[in-house]
Amino acid sequence: MHELVVNLHMHTTYSDGSGTYAELGQAALKTGVDVLLVTDHNVLVHGVDTYHRDGKKRVLVLACEEIHDQDRDPQKNHMLVFGTDQELSTLADNPQALVNAVNRLGGLCFIAHPVDPAMPAFGETDISWEDWNVTGFTGIELWNGFSELKTVAKGKMDAILYAFLPELIPHGPLRKALSIWDELLSKGQHVVAVGGSDAHARHMSLGPLHRTIFPYEYHFSTINTHVMTPMPLSGSLAEDRKMVFNALAAGHCFIGYDLPACTRGFSFSAQGRNSSASMGENISLDGAVTLQGRFPFSAEIKLIKDGVCIKTSHGETLTHVTNEPGIYRVEAYRHFLGKLRGWIFSNPIYVRSHQ
């Protein structure tokens, strides 16, 4: 398998971001990112899908969309939509109709910032996802780099500190988001977790202070979704686009916070007597199954089964032999800037009873 670093969920001047597509492409080329999925609010921009290049480096940039009902008060229920080629924001007031339309068109949809609390000091309301009766979506944005600010900054002074030192913000996906994900998985749904940046690179002024808060380049080096594909990018726009979306839809990916240490090279796999599986896949319990996690650097590792931590270890590997069906995933943490911070969150392997 090949690993592509995908940064997803970001805004340009087509909605409330400060950068153009060209500027986002340039920022991405300065980082280790391979693919950008750009998601302006309620507009699918046409004619901008392309590779941005600098010498031998290239980044694939694809226009996608973040859809929400602008007439709703508060404006909750944000959905990230990828790979549809068609404007669907007219369905924003009916999340289930939106999901159904995305599926009909062969696209993907992820519940954006499922837990997104209010930030009264800046007049920001709670924009968490509300409509949990919706079914059929691809997955959820488990970790959102921008909304995490709301959980750490309690007032204006905090916000100024984090504007200058944004690397102090990320701690990991919110506990509530993790428990929502585990609960969805426990119902038998195949729910893919992704990490999004929600980059806006907004300009902020507070008295004499003027600053672009959380520049695109910062976000692209921070929370990424690492996608496992059968081959590297080929240079064919249609093929590469399909390959990236297929891998995301299947859950062949993990979330990596790449600032404490690059997360490239992580793997989580299962080996049975006659079969094997990777993230997002099923494996049948035909005898025991060996789960194996490999980490590019030493970390505090947790193995989670059906939402409960069943094993912890420290190091670069995790091995666990099981005879029990369940939904297994791993989390890894590293010390960075004085705290133990979330570093890697895998998608699950579904260990099923042998039929």
Query: 270 to 289, contacts with Zn ion by CB under 5 A?
Result: none
Concatenated DSSP letters of 241-259: HHHHHHHHHHT-EEEEETT
Min. distance of Cβ 317 from Zn ion in angstroms? 36
Cα 354 to Cα 178: distance, rounded to the nearest angstrom: 28
Q: Is 150 in the site for Zn ion (CB under 5 A)?
A: no
Count of positions on this chain that bind Zn ion (CB under 5 A):
4
Q: Is 198 in the site for Zn ion (CB under 5 A)?
A: yes
Pick the closer one to Zn ion by CB: 198 or 240.
198
Min. distance of Cβ 217 from Zn ion in angstroms? 18
Q: Is 78 in the site for Zn ion (CB under 5 A)?
A: yes
Cβ partners under 8 Å of residue 74, min gap 6: 125, 126, 127
Query: 206 to 235, contacts with Zn ion by CB under 5 A?
Result: none
Nearest-CB residue for Zn ion: 78
Instruction: List the x/- string, 100-119, binding to Zn ion by CB under 5 A.
Output: ------------x-------
Q: Is 148 in the site for Zn ion (CB under 5 A)?
A: no
Min. distance of Cβ 117 from Zn ion in angstroms? 13
Question: Contact 28/4 with Cβ under 8 angstroms?
Answer: no
What residue type is 113 in one-letter code? H
Q: Is 341 in the site for Zn ion (CB under 5 A)?
A: no
Cis status of the peptide bond prior to 114, with omega within 30 of 0? no
Phi-psi map region of 283: left, alpha, beta (phi>0 left; psi -120 to 50 alpha):
beta
Min. distance of Cβ 70 from Zn ion in angstroms? 12
Cα 288 to Cα 212: distance, rounded to the nearest angstrom: 53
Q: What does the binding site for Zn ion look like in residue numbers (CB under 5 A)?
A: 66, 78, 112, 198
